[in-house]
Amino acid sequence: MRTVIAGGHGQIALRLERLLAGRGDEVAGIIRKPEQAAALREAGAEPVVLDLEAASVDELAEVLRDADAVVFAAGAGPGSGVARKETVDRDAAVLLADAAERAGVRRYLMVSSMGADSDPRPGTDDTFAAYLKAKGAADAAVRHRTALDWTVLRPGLLTTDPGTGRVRLAASTGYGSVTRDDVAAVLAELLDTPSTAGLTLELIGGHTPVPVAVKDVAGN
């Protein structure tokens, strides 16, 4: 399998690249800065330098040629303002969907966020509220596409703790935290489980082994 990951230098993306490369898959990561390339090579991924805020659909579609799946794991990051939540977290995800359709790549995994469909909790700061709104809009833009076999994954609060390999994965899990290691493991398992297409899933830490958790939701 060849997978292209948008946001290839992100913390989840690098973990996923290591997993996929480690099992013998081909994996490419789209990055904005050339100096990020070394980290991708170390993870076993092919770095592709392309600014998703400036690229055209045709330019991105060329990168996706011969891919079996794409993963949107890009994000403007915690230090960015409201405007880049829209241009990266929303618009770049839509651009990837457009390019996947043009390149004929059906499988699309979206790394979203818990709460993306709901009103922000009281006290949520404006920037994070804008982030949730942008993620919700991106999810909606992908989920109506019949040319894509999409799965939207909405992790809870992300941590850098070591992965446990055990999670709770469901349409609704309630709020909780999950390690980035376990998010990457779930994404890898979703890539192997095409019957999860059409599902929007929340993810937090839990007690079910990742392969079993994905198998349990497949086709539901």
For Cα atoms 107, 111, 116, give the angle at the middle one, nearest 5 degrees: 120
pLDDT, mean of residues 25-53: 97
pLDDT over threshold 80, residue 29: yes
pLDDT over threshold 80, residue 130: yes
Q: Is 175 a residue of the active site?
A: no
The catalytic position among 64, 107, 115, 131 is 131
By percentage, how much of the chain surpasses pLDDT 70?
Answer: 95
Rounded (10°) angle between helices 126-143 and 91-103: 20
* Assigned token pair, 141: 């833009």
CA distance 179 to 167: 9
CA distance 138 to 150: 12
CA distance 122 to 74: 27
pLDDT, mean of residues 45-51: 98
- Please choose, from the candidates 200, 20, 45, 202, the residue with its C-alpha nearest in 3D space to the C-alpha of residue 108: 200
* Strand ranges, E, within 20-164: 26-31, 46-49, 69-72, 107-111, 149-155, 157-159
Look up the pTM and report it.
Answer: 0.95
pLDDT band at 11 (very low <50, low <70, confident <90, very high): very high
Residue 122 phi, psi dihedral angles, 5° rounding: -55, 135
For the stretch 139-142, contacts whose Cβ atoms lie closer than 8 Å and that sit 24 or more positions apart, written own/partner, are 139/110, 139/112, 139/200, 141/90, 141/93, 141/94, 141/97, 142/93, 142/94, 142/97, 142/108, 142/110
**pLDDT tens for residues 131-150?**
899 999 999 999 999 999 99
pLDDT band at 67 (very low <50, low <70, confident <90, very high): very high
CA distance 143 to 137: 10
* Assigned token pair, 60: 């991105």
219 or 216, which is more confident: 216
pLDDT band at 122 (very low <50, low <70, confident <90, very high): low
CA distance 21 to 26: 6
Which positions ≥6 away from 78 have C-beta within 8 Å?
none
Tell me what the pLDDT averaged over the chain comes to: 94
By percentage, how much of the chain surpasses pLDDT 90?
Answer: 86
